[in-house]
A and B are shown apart, each in its own frame.
Chain A
C-alpha cells in the first residue's frame, strides 16, 4: 500500500472530508499561514480557499463558542490548535456547551464539531507546551477523544470524527508527524472505540495510546530477545475506551501493562486499570503495571526532560515486573530511563 507521513494523512483526510461534505470548514490560529500547522492545513487552504479555511485571531475560547454556534446552524467546524495546552482556554465552551447541548436540548440539537490539537514534547518546550491532556477531555460525558498512533488511523479516525454529529477531540502527538506508514488512498472511516491488537503475543499485554504504542512495539522487540512475548494493543481512542479488547487479550496473557502519554494519576491508565479490575479481575495473574508521566509538570532542562519521559526501557521494566511473581507493587520514584533514542526532536515548534 502507498505510504504517507502522519501529517500527510491528516492533510489528506481533511481534504477528502471537505470534498465530500461542504458543511466542513477549518478554522484556527495559523491554519492559513505558510506553514499551515506543520503542513496539515496548508493543502486544505490551497484547495478550498479562504471561505473554507479561516485564519483566526488568538481568541481560542470565543472561537470554540463560534464553532458551536456554526455547528447548530448546519456546519461542521474543524478547529485546529497547535498545542492541546491551548484547549485549556476553551474549556468552558467545550465542557459546558459543546458536550452538553445535545443532552440539555433533550436530543433536539446536536453539535457536529471536530477539534484537532497537538501534544508537544521535547527541546525544552516546558510546562505549558508539552502537556498531554486527554484525561481532562475524556472525563467529560459528551466528548469523544481520539489519539491516533499511526498514519492510517490519523486519516481514518479524523474522517470518522468529521462525519460524527457530536464533538470529537483529536489529539495528535507531534513526534508522530514525520513517521510514515501505509494509508489507503480512498476515503475510509475507522470506528471510534475499537482498540486494535497490533502485535500478537502470549506473556503480557501492553495497552498503549498514541506515541506509547510505538514505544511498546519497541519494547516487544527487545523483550522477544529475552524470550518474553508481548501482545500490544493500540487503544486508539481514550473515550470511548475499548476495555473489552484489552480484557480479551488479558484472558490470553493474564498480565497487563498500560502505557499512556499523560500523567499517571487520574488518567487514562487509571481508568483502564479500574475497568480491567471490574471486568476481568479473575484473569489477572499479577498486579497491573502502569507506565506514564510522573505527576509533575514538564521541566525545561534537557537533563530533567530525559528522566521525565518513560519509553521502551520503562515499558520493558514494567513487563518484567509483572512477570516476576506478584508484580512490582508501587511505582518507582523516578523513571530510570535516559537511554538515547535516535535523533532528538528539535522543532519546528
Chain B
C-alpha cells in the first residue's frame, strides 16, 4: 500500500465500505420478512470497487450503474434512508418507490440512476461526459457495469466514441467472473477484459478489485486524466460476488461454482482486509473501528425503521411522471 494516501482518506474508505456491507447484510437478514418486495442484487464482496472509484470523485462528477447498484448509490453519497425506503417501495424512497432496487438514483449526489438492461447506461455515461465537454466544465462521468456488459455492442460503440472524442468518462468494469450462473469462460475469449477495451484506443488497466487502495489509485489516475481533458479510461476491477445473482442466499448448491472458489474469495474479504491493514499501520485501532461499526449499525437500523414506518405512495402516484 502506498503511503501517499492520507490516513483520513483511508479511514473514509473503511467507513464507506463498511456502510455498504452493513446495509447489504441488513437486506440479507430482512429479505425473508417479504417486505422488501423487489428483485435485489447484492454487492457483498464487491464493495472496494464502488468505494475506490467514488472516493476519487468530487461533487459535480456523476455515476451511472446497472442492476447491482446499491454500492454505487451509497458510495456516491446517496442517503441510506432513501435507499431502504425505496427497497420497501415507500413514497419516501429515493425514487418515490417507483424504481426499486435496480433503479436507485440520487441526482443531488451525482448518482444519475441505473438500468436493469445490461450495459444500458454505458452510453448515457458517455453522454454525461459529452455534456461536460460541451458545457466547458471539468466534471467527470463514471459508468459502472459488470463483465457481461462487455458482451453488448453498445459497450464497444461507447468506448470507441468516447476515445474518438477524448471524453471525460471512466468506464469501470466490475469483473466478478459470472453473469448469473454462467462463468466468463463460456462468454468471452479471455477472463481479462481490459486488453480488449484498450483496442478501442483508450487507456485501459486491470486492478485487484478487492483492494480498495489499488482501485482508488487507478480511479484517481483515470479521473485526473479525464479532468485534464486527456480522455477516457477503462478500469477492469476483478472481484467476486458472494451471494447468489439475485436474492439474499448463497448459490453454491446450484452447481455453477464451488464452495472452495467462494471460500477463497471470502478469505480475501475487501472490508476485513482493509481493516487489518489499517490496524497494522496504526491508522484505525480496533476500538475506533468498533465505534465506526456501531455508528453504521445505528444508521442502517434507523434507515430500516424509517423505511418501515414510511407510507406507501398514494394511488395517484401511479400516473405521475409519465408524460
Instruction: Report which A residues bind B (CB closer than 8 A).
Output: 29-30, 33-35, 55-62, 85-86, 88-89, 123-129, 294-297, 299-304, 307-308, 333-334, 346-347, 349
**In the complex, are the beta carbons of B187 and A124 less than 8 A apart?**
no
**In the complex, are the beta carbons of B103 and A300 less than 8 A apart?**
yes
**In the complex, are the beta carbons of B318 and A308 less than 8 A apart?**
yes
**In the complex, are the beta carbons of A300 and B97 less than 8 A apart?**
yes
Judge if B199 is at the interface, Cβ distance under 8 Å: no
**In the complex, are the beta carbons of B246 and A349 less than 8 A apart?**
yes
**In the complex, are the beta carbons of B318 and A123 less than 8 A apart?**
no
Which chain B residues border A56 with CB–CB below 8 Å? 187
Judge if B38 is at the interface, Cβ distance under 8 Å: yes
Judge if B82 is at the interface, Cβ distance under 8 Å: no
User: Known contacts A58-B148, A59-B152; is A299 also within 8 Å of B37 by CB?
Assistant: no
Assembled-state Cα–Cα distance A150/B37 (Å): 28
Interface of A is mostly: loop
Judge if B305 is at the interface, Cβ distance under 8 Å: no
**In the complex, are the beta carbons of A126 and B179 less than 8 A apart?**
no
**In the complex, which range does the number of interface residues on chain B fall in?**
35 or more
**5 tightest Cβ-Cβ pairs between the two chains A and B:** A124-B38, A300-B100, A301-B89, A303-B312, A301-B97
Q: What is the number of contacts between chain A and chain B, taking CB atoms within 8 Å? A: 136
Assembled-state Cα–Cα distance A280/B211 (Å): 70
Which chain A residues border B133 with CB–CB below 8 Å? none
Assembled-state Cα–Cα distance A349/B322 (Å): 26
**In the complex, are the beta carbons of A128 and B179 less than 8 A apart?**
no
Residue interface mask B164-194, A partner, CB < 8 A = 1? 0000000000000001111000111000000
B156 to A: closest C-beta gap in Å: 10
**In the complex, are the beta carbons of B315 and A126 less than 8 A apart?**
no
Chain B minimum-CB-distance residue to A349:
B39
Assembled-state Cα–Cα distance A50/B18 (Å): 43
Which chain A residues border B90 with CB–CB below 8 Å? 301
What are 18 A-B contacts defined by CB distance under 8 Å? A29-B179, A29-B182, A33-B180, A34-B254, A35-B181, A59-B151, A85-B117, A86-B117, A89-B152, A123-B37, A124-B89, A127-B99, A129-B116, A294-B318, A300-B99, A301-B93, A333-B319, A334-B318
**In the complex, are the beta carbons of B318 and A296 less than 8 A apart?**
yes
Judge if B313 is at the interface, Cβ distance under 8 Å: yes
Which chain B residues border A347 with CB–CB below 8 Å? 39, 246-247
Assembled-state Cα–Cα distance A55/B185 (Å): 11
Task: Kindly list 19 other residue pairs between chains A and B, CB separation below 8 angstroms, not including A299-B313, A333-B319, A346-B34.
Answer: A33-B181, A55-B182, A59-B153, A60-B152, A61-B153, A124-B100, A124-B101, A126-B103, A126-B116, A296-B322, A300-B38, A300-B89, A303-B312, A303-B315, A304-B318, A346-B37, A347-B39, A347-B247, A349-B39
Assembled-state Cα–Cα distance A35/B247 (Å): 15
Which chain A residues border B246 with CB–CB below 8 Å? 347, 349
**In the complex, are the beta carbons of A304 and B97 less than 8 A apart?**
yes
Judge if B74 is at the interface, Cβ distance under 8 Å: no
Assembled-state Cα–Cα distance A85/B117 (Å): 8
Chain A minimum-CB-distance residue to B119:
A58
**In the complex, are the beta carbons of B318 and A299 less than 8 A apart?**
yes
Assembled-state Cα–Cα distance A129/B39 (Å): 10
**In the complex, are the beta carbons of B315 and A55 less than 8 A apart?**
no
Which chain B residues border A29 with CB–CB below 8 Å? 179-180, 182
Q: Among the interface residues A129, A295, A308, which one has the most CB atoms of the partner chain B within 10 A? A: A129
Assembled-state Cα–Cα distance A33/B115 (Å): 24
Which chain A residues border B322 with CB–CB below 8 Å? 295-297
Judge if B317 is at the interface, Cβ distance under 8 Å: yes
Assembled-state Cα–Cα distance A99/B305 (Å): 53
User: Known contacts A123-B39, A334-B315; is A57 also within 8 Å of B101 by CB?
Assistant: no
User: A55 is contacted by which of B95, B153, B186 (Cβ under 8 Å)?
Assistant: B186
Residue interface mask B67-105, A partner, CB < 8 A = 1? 000000000000000000010011001010111111100
Chain B minimum-CB-distance residue to A128:
B116
Assembled-state Cα–Cα distance A62/B181 (Å): 21
Assembled-state Cα–Cα distance A55/B179 (Å): 12
Assembled-state Cα–Cα distance A123/B100 (Å): 10
Residue interface mask B14-57, A partner, CB < 8 A = 1? 00000000000000000000100111000000000000000000
**In the complex, are the beta carbons of A35 and B254 less than 8 A apart?**
yes
User: B256 is contacted by which of A33, A59, A61 (Cβ under 8 Å)?
Assistant: A33
Q: Among the interface residues A33, A127, A297, A304, which one has the most CB atoms of the partner chain B within 10 A? A: A304
User: Known contacts A57-B148, A124-B39; is A30 also within 8 Å of B180 by CB?
Assistant: yes
Q: Among the interface residues A55, A127, A295, which one has the most CB atoms of the partner chain B within 10 A? A: A127
